[in-house]
A and B are shown apart, each in its own frame.
Chain A
Amino acid sequence: MDKNTSVDDRPEPVSRRKFATCAAAAAAGWVLTACGPRRLHDVPRDRLRQLVRDMEREYSARYGTTVAVSDAGPLPGVLFGYALDISRCIGCRRCVYACVEENNLTRDPQIHWIRVLQMDKEHGVDFTHADPYYDPEQVPQEGHFYVPVSCQQCRDAPCTKVCPTGATWTEQDGIVVIDYDWCIGCRCCMAACPYGARHFNWRTPSVPPAEVNPSMHYLGNRPRPRGVVEKCTFCIQRVRAGRYPACVEVCPVGARKFGNLLDPDSEIRYIIEHKRVMVLKEELNTMPKFFYFYG
C-alpha cells in the first residue's frame, strides 16, 4: 500500500452518539423499506438497481476485480427455446466446462449444470442404461451416443410449483430462475425435478478469483452462498444481452441451437418446423422448452 494513503485510511473513532444514530437510522430504514430483505421477484425496479450496485461492490471487493451485475429484465415478445441435435453430439463435454467457467460454478466441490449421458445405441434414449461418468481416451465411442441434459426450462415447471417460499419462478421470457437470497434450502425442487437439473451447495462453493467471470446477472451467475439450490439459466447474463449461451458458442459440432420461440424467422422455429423434435419424459407433461432432434 502507498505510504501517502496510509494516513487517510485510519478509521475515525466512532462516538457512541453517532453509532446510536446510525443504528437507529439503519433500523428505521430497514422497517421502512418493507421490512428488510425481500424476494427479488417482488423488488421494485429502483430498489433492484440499488441492490445490484450493492452486489457489484461486494463481489468486486471479494474477487479483487471489477464485477458488473446486470439487472436486465425480460424483453417483450421473447420466449427463449433450445434445441439439441443428438445425432451430432460427440460427448466431448466442452459445453460442461464452458458452462462452469461462464456461470461461476464452484470448482471445489464441483457442480455441473450440464450432465452428458452416454447411451447405448441398442437401448435408445433410456436413462436406466445411461452412464454419466464415461471416461474413454476418445469420444464418440463405438456403439454409443450422447445426450446432454440440463434444465429443460419447463413451461409447467414442477420445481416452481413445490417451492414453499416462492424462491424460484419462471420469468416472462421463459427462464426458470432462483433467488439465492430467498431460498431456504429445503430441496423440494430437487425432489420434484424430473431431469436432475437442480444442484445444491452442500458445502461452501469456491471459485478462484482469477477464474471469475465478472459479467454477472442478479438472477444468474452471481456467486451463490452455501445451502441453496442453483441451476442452468440459459446463461441469462448473455441471452438478455443478445448473445448465445456459452454452451451453444463452444459446441465444436454445432449440435446446440438457441433462439426466440416467438420469432417465426428464428433458427429454433426452423428446427421445430423442419425436423422431428422430441422432449424428455413427455409423459410428465412438464412441457420443456428444451428440444432434442435428430438432424
Chain B
Amino acid sequence: MKTLRAFAGFVAASLRLIGQGNALYWGWIAALLVLIVSGALAYAEQLRVGLGLTAMRDQVSWGFYIGNFTFMVGVAAAAVVLVIPAYVYHWKPIREIVMFGELLAVSSIVMCLLFVTVDLGRPERFWHLIPPFGRLNFPRSILAWDVIVLNIYLLINLVVVTHVLFRAFCGRPYSTRLVLPLVLFSIPMAIAIHTVTAFLYNGLAARPYWNASILAPQFLASAFSSGPAILLAVLQLLRRFTRFEIRDEALWKIAELMAYAVFMNLFFHGAEVFKEYYSNTEHSLYTRYWFEGIGGHRTLVPYAWSAVTLQLIALGLLIVPATRRHVITLNVGALATYAGCYIEKGMGLIIPGFTPDTLGEIYQYSPTMTELRVAAGVFAVGFLLFTLLLRVTVPILLGELRLAQGERRFEAPEASGAAAAVLTER
C-alpha cells in the first residue's frame, strides 16, 4: 500500500515535471506536436481511402514505412552497445548512461510498432495476432517471432527503467537482483530483435536480394553503427544542458566502437557486392538496380552512392584517433554514420528487394507526401516520448526530485524548480 502510494506520487511528480520547462522546451514540444498532428491527419486520410495513397503497389508491396521500421529496430538494439562497454570499462556514471540507452530503446520500439501499424491494411484487426482471441502463427511465421521478441524487449526495458527511476525517486538503491539479470538478458534480446527482423526478409526465397545469409550479420553491424550515433548526440546534449558528468573518454570509446561497426558493415556489403558482380547471375539484378540502375530506371542510384560515401567518411573520421577526439569531426562522423545507415536501411534494403519484382517488372517506387507525413508523425511521437522520458529521468537521477521521507510530499519547490529548468537551461 505504501509502495502504491509512493508510486502514485512518482507518477504525479513525473507528470508535473513534464508540465514544466522553459521556452526552448516548449518550442521543441510544440514543433513535435505540429508534426504529430500533420501525421495523424495524413494517417486518417490513409485510413479512409486506403494504402493506395502511398506509392506502394503490388510490385513494391513494402516501402518507406517498413524501411523505417527496420532502421528503428537497429536503433533500439543500440542500448546494448552501452550495456556491454559500461560493464566492461566501468565508466562513471555507468548506471545513468545505460539508462539513456534503455530510454532510447523504449522510444524506438514504440516507433517500430507504430511503423508496422501504419503499414497494415486493416489495423483494427491487430487483435487477430493475439491469442486466445486471435491466432499467432507461431513458430512458422517469422513476423510472429518478431512480434514476440519486440514486445519482450520493450517490456524488459520498461521494467528496468521504471524500477530504477522509482527507486531513485524514493531515495533507495535499485534492486541488483532484479536489474542485473534483466540488463544482461537484454543483451541477447537486442541481438534477437535484430536477427529476427533480418530473418523476416532473409527467409523469403522469392527475393534473392534478401535471401543471402550475410543479411543478419550486416543488420547487426549497421545497428551498432547507427544506434550509438544517436546516443553520442544525446550524451553530448545532456552533458551540456545538465549537471551530468560524462567524460570525453566515454564518448571516444563509443566512437571507436562505432568505427569498428561501420567497418564491419562496409565489409559485409563489399562481400555481397563482390559475390553479386563476380558471379554475375540473374540475381545480381537487384544489387545492380541499387548501385547503377537498370536501363533508364535510376531513382535509387544517388541514394546508394551517398550511403556508401557517408559511411566511408564516417569510417575515416572515427577510426583516426585525432579526428575521433575532436568535437567537430567526431560529430560529423556520427552524423555521417547515422545518415549513411538510414539511407541504406530505409531505401536500400526494402526497395531493391522488390525491384524488379518476381516476374521481372520494374516499378519505380518513391514515397508519396502521405507516407512522408505519416512517417514524420511517427518519428515525432518517438522523439516526444524520448524527450518526456528524459525530462523525468534526468532530475530524478540527479537527485533533484525525491519523495520526502515520512511526510508523503515532495521536496521544496526550489529543488523541483531547478529540476524543471535543468534540461534546457544552463
Contacts and interface: CB of A to CB of B under 8 A. Distances in A.
Interface of A: 35-36, 39, 42, 109, 115, 117, 126-130, 132, 149, 158, 161-167, 182-188, 190-196, 198-204, 225-229, 284-285
B285 interface: yes
Contacts of A227: 50-51, 120-122
A148 to B, nearest CB: 11
Contacts, number: 144
Contacts of A284: 205-206
A138 B121 CA distance: 39
A192 to B, nearest CB: 5
B414 interface: no
B139 to A, nearest CB: 11
Contacts of A196: 58-59, 357-359, 361
Contacts of A158: 204-206
B203 A184 contact: no
Contact of B121 (A42, A187, A195): A187
Contacts of A195: 358-359
B282 interface: yes
Contacts of A203: 49-50, 52
B141 A161 contact: yes
B122 A202 contact: no
Contacts of B140: 161-162
Residue of B128, B134, B204 with most partner-chain A CB within 10 A:
B128
Interface SS majority for chain B: loop
Nearest to A226: B50
B62 interface: yes
B359 A200 contact: no
Interface stretch (B142-150, B315-323, B373-381): B142-150
Chain B, interface size category, equals: 35 or more
Contact of A184 (B50, B126, B200, B354): B126
A166 B134 CA distance: 10
B213 interface: no
Given A127-B358, A127-B360, A128-B360, A188 B52 contact: no
A39 B128 CA distance: 9
B247 interface: no
> 8 nearest interchain CB pairs?
A185-B121, A227-B121, A127-B360, A194-B206, A202-B52, A203-B52, A164-B143, A190-B61
A201 to B, nearest CB: 7
B135 A39 contact: yes
B276 to A, nearest CB: 15
B357 A191 contact: no
Contacts of B129: 164-165, 184
Contact of A191 (B57, B61, B126, B128): B61
B356 interface: yes
Interface string B130-141: 001111110011
Given A127-B359, A158-B205, A192-B206, A165 B121 contact: no
B50 A117 contact: no
A165 B134 CA distance: 7
A187 B200 CA distance: 12
Given A128-B282, A162-B143, A166-B137, A201 B361 contact: no
B56 interface: yes
B400 interface: no
A202 B57 contact: yes
